[in-house]
Copies of this chain bind each other. A is one copy, B any other.
Amino acid sequence: MPTTNLDETARQILAAASRRFLHYGYKKTTMSEIADDCNMSSGNLYRYFPSKLDIAEMFVRVLRGEQVDNLRTVLDAPGRSPAQKVRDFFLLKFKLAYERFHDKPKAFELSSELILERPKVALEWENAEGRVLGEILSEGNADGSFAIDDVPAITKILQNTAYRFTSPALFHESGEEALAVELNGVIDLVLDGFAWRSAHGEQGKTVSAASR
Q: How far apart are the CA atoms of A127 and B184 in the complex, in Å?
A: 21
Would you give the 0/1 interface string for A182-204, flagging 1 where the beta carbon is closer than 8 Å to chain B? Answer: 11111111111111110100001
Q: Are B169 and A192 in contact (CB under 8 A)?
A: no
Pairwise interchain contact B212-A192, C-beta atoms closer than 8 A: no
Contacts of A185 in B (CB 8 A): 153-154, 156-157, 160
With A and B bound together, what is the CA distance between A165 and B160 in angstroms? 9
Q: Determine how many copies of this chain the complex contains.
A: 2
Q: Which residues of B contact A9 (CB under 8 A)?
A: none
Asked whether, in the complex, the Cβ of B164 is within 8 Å of the Cβ of A188, the reply is no
Q: Are B157 and A211 in contact (CB under 8 A)?
A: no
- Give the residues in chain B near A161, CB-CB below 8 Å: 160-161, 186, 189-190
Q: Quick one: which of B81, B164, B194, B211 contacts A81, CB cutoff 8 A? A: B211
A211-B83, A212-B87 known; A204 and B182 CB under 8 Å?
Answer: no
| Binding site secondary structure of chain A | helix
With the chains together, A61 CA to B187 CA distance in Å? 33
**Measured between alpha carbons, how far is A183 from B208 in the docked complex, in Å?**
13
Contacts of A165 in B (CB 8 A): 160
Is B187 within 8 A of A208, CB to CB? yes
Between A and B, 15 residue pairs with Cβ closer than 8 Å are: A84-B211, A87-B211, A119-B173, A160-B165, A160-B183, A161-B186, A163-B164, A167-B167, A184-B212, A188-B205, A189-B193, A189-B194, A189-B208, A190-B193, A191-B208
A87-B211, A189-B193, A190-B190 known; 10 new pairs, CB 8 Å cut-off, are A81-B211, A83-B211, A157-B186, A163-B163, A163-B164, A164-B164, A167-B167, A167-B169, A184-B212, A191-B211
